[in-house]
A and B are shown apart, each in its own frame.
Chain A
Amino acid sequence: MQKPIDLPIHRFSDMALLLAGLALSAAPHAARLSWWVSGAAMLFFSWRLFIAWRHRALPPRWLLLVLTVAGMVGVYLTFRTIFGRDAGVTLLVLLLSLKLMEMRAPRDVFVVVFLSYFLALTNFFYSQTIPTATLMLATVLLVTASLSGASAPSRPMAANLRTAGSLLLQASPVMLLLFFLFPRVQGPLWGVPQDAYSGVTGLSDSMSPGSLSRLSTSDAIAFRVKFQGEAPPRGTMYWRGPVFWDFDGRTWRPGGGRLRPSLRFEAFGKPVDYEVTLEPHNFFWLFGLDLPASSPPNARFTSDYQMLSIQAVRTRIRYDLRSYTEYRTSDGNGEEEIASATRLPGNLNPRARGLGREWRRALGSDEAILRQAIEYIRSGGFEYTLQPPLLQQNTVDEFLFDTKKGFCEHFSGAFTFLMRAAGVPARVVTGYQGGDLNPVDDYHIVRQSDAHAWSEVYLQGRGWVRVDPTAVVVPSRIESGLASSVPQNTVPLIMREELAWLRGMRYNWDALANKWNQWVLGYNPDRQRDMLSKLGVSQPNWQNLAQLMFWSVAVVLGLMAAWLLWKFRNHDPVQAAWLSFCEKLARKGMARRPDEGPIDFAARIAPALPDTAGAAREIANLYAALRYGRTPSADGVARLRRAVGAFKI
């Protein structure tokens, strides 16, 4: 039972547990860190494990000091700074690995554990998905078990894990309350480092051959849409993104669209109401169905119908929109703008220019040229493919007349070029087309692979008209999506049509991920205000929230304390009554000696209790009978309690 206080460096199992927890939180970073950092971390981890296993000596301090300085220099040389997100994470991993090498006493365990909590947090800079969350929960469990082990060195590992698990479980009500009630502030509090938002996939602010087909292999989610009422037909689901005007022979770039507070157009038909949950993509575009009639908060429009956020979309955002899929544009038809929509660069792509000029000569009217161009694309033997051949200098010519194989950026780019060559104002619009309905939660999911490019042509009297040359070549791309339009073996596995069961699983997973996004990741100041208003908090300002948070946490903790303290009590009424009797006497200086039986005790104290000696004796006898007697009487317990209650000195 008794043991000397020794503060040994851990048993091997404790060390292995701590290292396992650390490794789990460092593992997702491994791919993102420089090779030398991952290598060093792995080296130190295995070295420490070996030391614990074989009870070897820790490396000398001077060596650690040298390694620390070397690590910092290395980080500086790699990143040219030691601040910022990536450099900071690298530094944290390095310092943690080095700290392991001088971990001797339990207080070092505390440092390592706290640092690994930080390390777990840094993973969320890069990914906040359910798998990451699960992994970090596992990390926290293992590391906390180590913490528990440090304060109770004699317990086996399984017991520590159980303790950590039950602590985390008991912490979760508090966590939920704090999560929902902690007054949320929209960050950032100060400027975040430049590298904070790198590495997001999505549309880019220019279009050149290959830029969209690269996206088509990514099944990352661009945004989710929840339609109120019936969803519009898939063929009309054009989600407008960046619009391009300027062409340099290879790359399309945006023109100078002027900003407007709202869009002006003539709408027909029924409006479509929906909610978009947009994944961060690090640019300003907000995606909406052509054409939005309402404006989300903090959004502006351009004269070419782009919807732009005031701040770059760096967190998942949600907005409600109303769109009309049938419309006639009546805006943005300035002369200058029309003129810039027919501009062509230098003297590249002579064959396409020639073809355009020829159409203009032969046909005359813009509508006729448009019909001719569509017919040309339809019957020209073009092939829609995810792996188009590489193009050299005259990209449009080579595509139109030589390779005839391309993805939507080839089709829309070449088509727009042809129209301009023929003198018809045209521009390229990129965005997304379509979207899969997830039958599990009725959300439409628009993925990066739904990225699309089409053209808009300006016709006198009709305004800007959408023409989708890709749809002309492969109507199925628009009607039923990418997977049905290209050979199956080039489509991402998950999108292939024969794997229906896999897709079913995928739908469930997406629905779960969506819930996660909506409620966990998307829980922001707005959502908090909404929820609290629904719960009946009349003025959800931060003072009210703080009060609500404080009191609810206090109540939960109070309940938990009552539960913890009562659940494990020894509920033996006989013992309880007897103890209370002994306590009454002890308060008067007549404590029962540990070796004294009840009868002896009563006999010993009898002389000191002139009035109540009889009662004391009766209590002692009752207790002895109940405790040690062969057949305790049925009402004995009640009698004992009554007698003890009435006992006075």
Chain B
Amino acid sequence: MLQRVLQPLRKYSRIYDFAQWFYRRHAPEPGTIVLTQRRVYVLPSRQGLVFGTSMVVMLIGSINYNLSLGYVLTFLLTGMGVVSILHTFRNLARLAVSPGRVDPVFAGEVAQFHVHIENPDRHDRFSLVLTCKGEMVSCDIPAQRVGVVVIRQRAQKRGWMPLERVTLETRYPLGLTRAWSYVRPEMRALVYPTPDDALLPMPQARPEAGDAISVGSGSDDFFGLRTYQPSDSPRHVAWKAAARTDTPLTKVFIGRAASELWFDFDDMPQGFDTEARLSRLSRWVLLATQSGARYGLRLPGTQIPLGDGEGHREACLRTLALFERA
């Protein structure tokens, strides 16, 4: 009932529309964002204003000196300026922006937001400039193609970093007008805590912890060779043997798998705050992965069981990134 009363009101309430539009503009939009005509704004650029002033001066000159061809030239250029507004608008309107891949990064690194821009029309788009918090990137998108643009943003702190509002603008073809639109695709980058740069090694397996079991005598005893797999650490590549056989080989050590480590949030020097602890843990996770150890993570409230490999590493880092102290 209420809806039925409100509906016609809504239709005429421009302010309501405006408020809706204004607030929604800043919220991230899921899925594909089509730059409809209402979302594209066009105004003259500074050069456009100078151009307009020049036209006025040329017109006055033509009137004063009775230059018929002066009129022709002035009006031709004016017409060109006006028509270029349409072209600038057309260069931006109807593009479809959709989110693409975002790889996790460590805090302090640069996150790369892959944004897909689809040009559905039969004309090419030129000189599209995407600006996000001072970072600029430009691209051309041929007719009926999808372009991938990478927006680079420096990750400041761990956790989820959402993509801020992106200004998509163009001044093509003459630079006299600027058409722009704001998009905010729902994209976020996972930011891991920065590994700290302490020189201390990672903690040794401690027998009293009860979890680390030493298998065999020396943990770094050479056991044999097997063919190289992409995940193998380059430090274990048997370069000499590889040179002889033409196939890359990896040295296998026994006792490696036996090295099992637990990294504990609470097992830190005095005076470490949460971020410092997470940074330390982050470094340990990297070191452990590099050396091929099996490791687990203990955090207040959560625990990640022992494991190894890329998947495990990412799970651990993700946990560290999103850790919230209760």
Contact = CB atoms under 8 A, between A and B. Distances in A.
A591 interface: yes
25 contacts: A110-B47, A110-B51, A117-B54, A117-B77, A121-B70, A133-B72, A147-B174, A151-B174, A152-B126, A163-B173, A167-B87, A171-B77, A171-B82, A175-B78, A178-B75, A178-B79, A182-B71, A187-B66, A189-B64, A521-B69, A557-B82, A557-B83, A568-B90, A570-B120, A594-B116
A121 B175 contact: no
A524 B67 CA distance: 10
Interface in A134-173: 136, 140, 144, 147-148, 150-155, 163, 167-168, 170-173
B31 interface: yes
Contact of A144 (B69, B90, B147, B174): B174
Interface in A546-567: 553, 557, 560-561, 564-565
Interface string A562-596: 00110011100000000000010010010111100
A448 B186 CA distance: 78
- Interface SS of A by simple majority: helix
Contacts of B84: 167
Interface string A174-193: 11001100100111111010
**Nearest 8 pairs of A and B residues by beta carbon:** A591-B31, A174-B79, A171-B79, A151-B175, A178-B75, A171-B80, A568-B123, A175-B75
A5 B86 contact: no
Nearest to B148: A1
A520 B137 contact: no
Given A114-B50, A167-B80, A570-B121, A155 B75 contact: no
A2 interface: yes
A251 interface: no
Contact of B66 (A188, A565, A570): A188
Contacts of B276: none
A167 B66 contact: no
Given A1-B148, A106-B175, A167-B84, A117 B73 contact: yes
A520 B69 contact: yes
Contacts of A124: 67, 69-70, 73
Contact of A114 (B51, B90, B136): B51
A128 interface: yes
Nearest to B175: A151
Nearest to B62: A121
Contact of A151 (B54, B65, B77, B127): B127
Interface in A483-508: none
A487 to B, nearest CB: 39
Contact of B129 (A5, A117, A560, A583): A5
Interface residues of A, number: 72
Interface in B81-97: 82-84, 86-87, 90, 93-94
A69 interface: no
Contacts of B54: 114, 117-118
A647 B50 CA distance: 51
Nearest to B47: A110
Nearest to A173: B79
Interface string B139-165: 111011001111000000000000000
Contacts, number: 196
Contacts of A258: none
Pick from B58, B73, B116 the residue with the most CB of A within 10 Å.
Answer: B73
A594 B30 contact: no
Contacts of B175: 106, 110, 147, 150-151
Contacts of B30: 586, 589, 591
Interface string A598-634: 0000000000000000000000000000000000000
A522 interface: yes
A209 B79 CA distance: 53
Contacts of B174: 144, 147-148, 151, 167
Contacts of A560: 83, 86
B72 A520 contact: yes
Contacts of B245: none
B250 interface: no
A134 to B, nearest CB: 11
B58 A117 contact: yes
A117 B70 CA distance: 10
Given A133-B69, A189-B64, A522-B68, 4 more contacts: A152-B140, A187-B63, A314-B66, A524-B66
A125 interface: yes
A415 to B, nearest CB: 41
A175 B79 contact: yes
B122 A121 contact: no
A182 B75 contact: yes
A148 B176 CA distance: 10
Contact of A315 (B51, B66, B69): B66
B241 interface: no
B32 interface: yes
A196 interface: yes
Interface of A: 1-5, 106-107, 110, 114, 117-118, 120-121, 124-125, 128, 132-133, 136, 140, 144, 147-148, 150-155, 163, 167-168, 170-175, 178-179, 182, 185-190, 192, 196, 314-315, 520-524, 553, 557, 560-561, 564-565, 568-570, 583, 586, 589, 591-594
B279 interface: no
Interface of B: 30-32, 34, 47, 50-51, 54, 57-58, 60-80, 82-84, 86-87, 90, 93-94, 98-100, 116, 120-123, 126-127, 129, 136-141, 143-144, 147-150, 171-175
Contacts of B47: 107, 110
A2 B78 contact: no
A586 B31 contact: yes
B122 A148 contact: no
A393 to B, nearest CB: 44
Contacts of A144: 80, 174
B116 A4 contact: no
Contacts of A117: 54, 58, 73, 77
Given A2-B148, A125-B67, A151-B171, A592 B86 contact: no
A118 B80 contact: no
B316 to A, nearest CB: 27
A174 B121 contact: no
B58 to A, nearest CB: 5
A430 B290 CA distance: 107
B68 A591 contact: no
A174 B75 contact: yes
Contacts of B100: 594
A4 B71 CA distance: 41
A163 B171 CA distance: 14
A144 B87 CA distance: 15
A188 B139 contact: no
Nearest to A133: B69
Nearest to A517: B68
A523 B68 contact: yes
Given A174-B79, A174-B82, A154 B32 contact: no
A564 B75 contact: no
A524 B66 CA distance: 9
A151 B173 CA distance: 6
A144 B76 CA distance: 12
Contacts of B172: 148, 151-152
